[in-house]
Structure 1
Amino acid sequence: MVRQIAVPFEADRPLRPPTMRSISLELRLIVAIVALCVGAALLGARLGGGIVEQQVEEAGASRLRGAAEAFASQERAEVEKLSSTLDALLSRDDLRDAFAARDRERLLALAAPLFETMRERDRITHWYFIAPEPDATVFLRVHRPELRGDKVDRVTFRRAVETGDVGAGKELGRTAFALRVVRPWMRDGKVIGYLELAEEIDHFLGAMKSRTGDDYGILVKKRFLDQRRWAEVLGERSNTWNDRADVVVVDTTTFTEGIIDYEGDLEALPDDGVALGEVVREDRAYMRGIFPLRDAGGRKVGGLFVLHDFSAEHGAARAAMLRSFMMLIGLGAVLTVLLATLLHYAVFARLRRLERRLAREADERQLPPGRMVELTDDEISRLEVLLRRALFPSRDEVPRDPSSSRGRG
Structure 2
Amino acid sequence: MSSAPQRVFAARLAGTRVFDPLGDAVGTLRDVVILPQAHGAARAVGFVVEVPGKRRVFLPTTRVTAVSPGQVISSGLLNMRRFEKRSGESLAIGDLLERRVQLVDGSGEATVEDVGLEQNRHRDWVLDRLHLRRRKGGSLSRLVSRGETLTVPWRAVSGLFGTQAEQSAALLLASYQDLKPADLGEIMQELEPKRRIELAEELSDERLADVLEELPEDTRVEVVTALDARRAADVLDAMDPDDAADLVQELPDPVAQELLDLMEPEEAEDVRRLLAYDEYTAGGMMTTEPLIVAPETPVAHCLAMISRQELPTALASTVHVCRSPLETPTGKLLGIVHFQHLLRERPDRPVGEILDADRHTVPAGAPLSEVTREMATYNLVSLPVLDEEGRLLGAVTVDDVLDHVLPEDWREQDEPVPTTTGQIDLSEIARGLPRHGKEA
Query: If the TM-score is normalised by the length of the shorter chain, which range does it land in?
Result: under 0.3
Structure that is richer in helix per residue: 1
- TM-score normalised by the chain length of structure 2: 0.22
- TM-score normalised by the chain length of structure 1: 0.23
* Structure of higher RCO (CA pairs closer than 8 Å, 6+ residues apart): 1
Structure that is richer in strand per residue: 2
